[in-house]
Amino acid sequence: MSVQTAAGPGTRASRAPGPEPRRPRRRLSLRQRIWRERWTYTFILPGALFFLVFAYVPMLGNVVAFQDYTPFRGIDGSPWVGFANFTAIFQDPEVLTALRNTLIIAFLQLVFAFPAPIALALLLHSLLSERVKRLVQTIVYLPHFLSWVIVISVWQQVLGGGGLVAGLMQDWGMGGFDAMTNADTFKFLVVAQNVWKDCGWGTIIFFAAIAGIPSERYEAAAIDGASGWQRTCHVTLPALIPVTTLLLILNIGSILTVGFEQLLLQQPMVGADAAQVLDTFVYFRGVLGGQWGIATAAGLLKGVIGTILVLSANKLAKRMGGEGIF
Amino acid sequence: MATTTMTRSRQAEGGRPPWMNPPSPLVRGIKALVIALIVITMLYPLVYVIAMSFAAPEQARSGVVFPTRYSLDAYRAIFNGGTVTQGLQNSLFITVVGTVLSLAATSTLAWGLARTRQVPGAKAVLIMVLATMFFGAGIIPNFMLIKYLGLLDSTWSLIVPGLISAFNMIVIRNFFQNLPEELIEAARIDGAGEWRIFLRIVLPLSKPVLAVMGLFYAVGYWNTYFNALLYINDSEKWPIQVVLQQYVLAGVAIPGAVVSPDQPAPPGVTLQMAVIVLATVPILLVYPFLQRYFTSGVLTGAIKG
C-alpha cells in the first residue's frame, strides 16, 4: 500500500499465491500448462466475455461516426460518408461553445478544485487531536457518496430562488437571490459544487502520502530551527509531489470530461450557452436530436484526444524524472 | 514503518512531539474557525433539508433557518402517492441484485487473474481489462449495444453493463495476491480444486475487501441516474434518482401526494425535501459501516489501486 504500488498493478505478481512449478519438473509445453490450469479458466472466461461484450464490442459501434446513421436503417443499411461528420463538427457553432465551456470549466477545476484537497489535508494533518481529526474526516467524506441529483437538489434548496439564502435576504429587505440559475457565475458554481462534494474525499490519498513521511525528517528540520510553516513547505510538500503528479496526469487525461451528470442536470436551469459541454452535446444532439453520426463523431474525437493526452502527460512526467502511471 | 507507527501512537495520546512548538493562540483560533466553517458548510445543507422535510406546513411556507414545529404529513403524502415508493423499490432491487452479482463476477475474475505468471493468456486478459480504465466507447455506441441486446426499458440495463469495474477488480486482485500463500498451497496439495479453494478459503479470508467493494458497488447502483435516463422510458421502472430529478429539479408535481382527500396537500417544499431525504437515507445508513474502513487502510489501498 505504499506510494510505489500506484506504479502499476501486477508489480506484485511474483508474490502471487499459487503453484510454483510444483516440482522442478522439465518445462511443460504450452498445451500442458493450459491443461493444468483448466479450472482457472472457468474463473477468467465469464469476466473476459463481459469486458469483450460491454467494453470492446461498443467500440466497434463508433463506425457510425463515418456514416449517415439512422437507427431505422441500422449500421448495415446506413450510407458511408467518410469524414463528413467530422468536418460538420468543426463548422457547428454549438460544438465550439461546448468545447469552450468544457475547457473553461476544466481550467477552473484545475486552479481551484485540484489544490483544495491538498490544502485541506495539510490543515487536518496539523491538528493534534486525533479525535477531532477523525470527526472532521467523517464529515467531509460524506458528500462524496451522494449522487449528483441529490447534491444539486440540496444546493437548490439552499441557494436557489426559493431557497434558504433567498428567504433570508428577503427577510432582511434585500432583493431576490438565485445562484442556481445565474448563467454568468454558473462555471464557478460548478467548481464550488465539485469542491463541496469531492474535496474531502480527495484528501485520503494525500493523508496516505503524509503518513508515509518518517517523523525523523520533521525532528531534524525542527532541530535545524525550521518553524512549523517551514517544515510544511520543505518536508511535507516535497513528499506530496509524486502523488500530485500522478493525479495531475489523470486530470489532464480527463480534461475534456467535466462532470457530465452535474452539467446535464443543471442545463435546463441556466441554458445551453453556459452549460453545454462536449458530453452533453453528444447526448442532446445524438440521443435526443437524432443526429447520430455527428454526435458519435464528436464523442469519438473527444475519446481519442483524451487518450492521447493521458499518454503524453504520462510520458512527460516520466521524462521529468517522476513516476508515471504505467 | 516503525517510525510511522510511533508517530501515530504518539499522536493518538494527544501529545505533541517534544520538538514541536506550542502553536500561538492566534493560529489556533484561526484554525478552529476555518475547521468550523468547513464542517458547517458540509453539514448544514443536509441537516437543513432533513429538518425542513419534517417542518410543519406554516413554517415551511414562510421559510425559516431551522423549523421548530414538526409534522410527518410530507412523508404520509408521498407514501400515499405511490410513485416515490415505486422508485425506492426499483432502486432497492437494482442495488441488492446488482451488488451481489457484481461482487460474484468481480471476485471470480480477480481470482482467475491473480496468477498471471502461471496461467497462459491471463496476462493478455488483464491488459484487456486494464485498458478499459483509460477509454470508453462513448454514450451512443453503448446505447446502441443495449438496444441491440433488447435491454432497453429493462431494469437489467442498469445492472449488467456495470457488472465489473476494472478498478474494483484490481483492488480485489491485489488483496488476493497478499493472502498467505502457505494456506492456499496446502489446500492444493490436499487435492482441493480451484473452486473449492476459492469458495472455502479465499472468499472467507477476503471479507474486509469484499465489504468495501460491495459498499462501493451498492452506492454506485443506488446513485444510478444517467443510464436510467438513457435506457428506461417507462416511469414505472425509474430508479429513485430519476424520480428525484423529476419531482425536485424539474418541478413536476408528485401525482396523488395528499394526506387525505379532505385535507390540503402539504407544501411543495416539504414534499421535495422529503423526497431528497428518502433518496439519501440508505447512503446515510451504510455510511457508518463504510467509515470503519477509512482508517483501516483498506480504502487507501483501494483509492490508489
Report the pLDDT value the prediction gives residue B266, as an integer from 0 to 100: 81
Q: Which of A43-52, A219-228, B165-174 has the highest mean pLDDT?
A: A43-52
Residue A50 lies in a domain: no
Average pLDDT (B230-252) is 91
CATH of the domain at B158: 1.10.3720.10
Q: Do A55 and B126 touch (CB under 8 A)?
A: no
Q: Which of A58-62, A249-253, A256-260 has the highest mean pLDDT?
A: A58-62
A90 touches chain B (CB under 8 A): no
pLDDT tens, position by position, A288-298: 998 999 999 99
How confident is residue A22, by pLDDT bands cut at 50, 70 and 90?
Answer: low
Q: Do B19 and A123 touch (CB under 8 A)?
A: no
pTM of the model as a whole: 0.86
Which value, in Å, is the radius of gyration of the alpha carbons in chain A?
26
pLDDT tens, position by position, A25-81: 567 888 888 888 889 999 999 999 999 999 999 999 899 999 999 888 888 888 999
Mean pLDDT of chain B: 85
Question: Which residues of chain A lie closer than 8 angstroms to B125, CB-CB?
Answer: 44, 47-48
Q: Do B295 and A47 touch (CB under 8 A)?
A: no
Residue that has been written with the C-alpha cell 510553516 in this structure: A229
Average pLDDT (B188-215) is 90
How confident is residue B22, by pLDDT bands cut at 50, 70 and 90?
Answer: confident
* Predicted ipTM of the assembly: 0.87
Dihedral sign (CA B77, A158, A197, B296): negative
Q: How far is B66 from chain A (nearest CA, A)?
A: 10
Residue B273 lies in a domain: no
Q: How far apart are CA B74 and CA B258, in angstroms?
A: 8
Is residue A20 predicted with pLDDT exceeding 70?
A: no
Q: Could you give the number of structural domains in chain A?
A: 1
CATH of the domain at A178: 1.10.3720.10
How confident is residue A9, by pLDDT bands cut at 50, 70 and 90?
Answer: very low
Q: Could you give the number of structural domains in chain B?
A: 1
Is residue B225 predicted with pLDDT exceeding 90?
A: yes
Residue A196 lies in a domain: yes
Is residue B25 predicted with pLDDT exceeding 90?
A: no
**CB B164, CB A47: distance < 8 Å:** yes
Q: In percent, how much of chain A has pLDDT > 90?
A: 41
Question: Which residues of chain A lie closer than 8 angstroms to B106, CB-CB?
Answer: 47
Q: How far apart are CA B251 and CA B269, in angstroms?
A: 10
Residue B255 lies in a domain: no
Report the pLDDT value the prediction gives residue A11, as an integer from 0 to 100: 41
How confident is residue B163, by pLDDT bands cut at 50, 70 and 90?
Answer: very high
Can you give the residue range of the structural domain that contains A132? 95-213+241-319
Residue B179 lies in a domain: yes
Closest CB to B141: pick one of A15, A58, A142. Answer: A58
Residue B5 lies in a domain: no
Can you give the residue range of the structural domain that contains B186? 88-226
Closest CB to A43: pick one of B65, B108, B283. Answer: B108
The number of residues making up chain B comes to 305
Residue A102 lies in a domain: yes
